[in-house]
Amino acid sequence: QNAPSAEAGKKSTPADIAIALKATHKVTFGYVLTGDPTTDDTSRIGLTGLARVLEARTAVSPGTPLPVNITDDEIAFYPVLYWPVLDNAKPLPEATLAKIDAYMKQGGMIIFDTRDYGSGRPASLMGAGGDTPLQRILGNLDLPRLEPVPEGHVLTKSFYLLRSFPGRWDGGTLWVEAAANEPSGAGREARRADGVTSIVVTSNDLAAAWALDERGRPLYPTVPGGEIQREMAFRTGVNLVMHALTGNYKADQVHVPALLERLGQ
């Protein structure tokens, strides 16, 4: 259970209560609104496509993805927030940063997707100069140390066995919270107490790869690997969700497909 958010003292409206009921009726993913209609629509359709795949392949039956105004809305209901990063992203208010920090420390996962692999920007996590769109969003947020997904990380085996994590693009690094190196009891170590990385950063445009029309046809090409790459993008999404929902359970358990095979299912 998440603790009350920074907005716990704010009086709830009927609309707030309706959203809370909808978000908690089933496992529900949120997508952060950017103000760009095409980007926001792609987030919605992409998460809907991922939800269809999860329902078909796993025991997770997600509800309809919901839009999130990151400044005003409660975010504690969502185990995963998908956050596309626009070039014109602006710094966030301190109260919003505090809400995001509380969300991550209480077990939520935010997927920041810069969607800019191959754009010629620096390949490092934050770039140079201190003024990338992602840096402007994160501002003074108390972030854990990040690293590229290491070999053997839970994300590589939370449902599928994966070595890469493509989206619409293939080649961008997937960054996750680094394993704690501090002595036991250090503040940073508590961030991953349940084994879930609180923050994921990619540049591969995941939602565009997951976006399907009502007939299940893809809306965007996956480059350069075509439909095989799209399948791997869906597997990436499945692993991210299963990691968010199960924590470090899969780090020391039999891999799910192998277990199902043993049971004869």
Encode 155-196 in three state secondary structure. Answer: HHCCCCCCCCCCCCECCCCCEEECCCCCCCCCHHHHHHCCCC
Task: Give the C-alpha separation, 237 to 243, whole Å.
Answer: 10
Per-residue model confidence (pLDDT) at position 26: 83
Per-residue pLDDT of the chain (265 residues; tens, 9 = 90+): 344 444 444 566 777 767 766 666 689 999 999 999 999 999 999 999 999 999 999 999 999 999 999 999 999 999 999 999 999 999 999 999 999 999 999 889 999 999 999 776 655 565 555 678 999 998 888 888 999 999 999 999 999 999 999 999 999 999 999 987 544 444 433 344 467 899 999 999 999 999 999 999 999 999 999 999 999 999 999 999 999 998 754 443 444 455 456 555 4
Tell if the pTM clears 0.75, that is, is over it. Answer: yes
Q: Which two tokens stand for residue 148?
A: 């590229």
d(CA 48, CA 142): 31
Strands (E), 65-161: 66-68, 80-84, 109-113, 146-148
Distance CA 35, CA 75 (A): 18
pLDDT in the model for residue 23: 62
Please report the pLDDT score of residue 143 as a whole number.
85
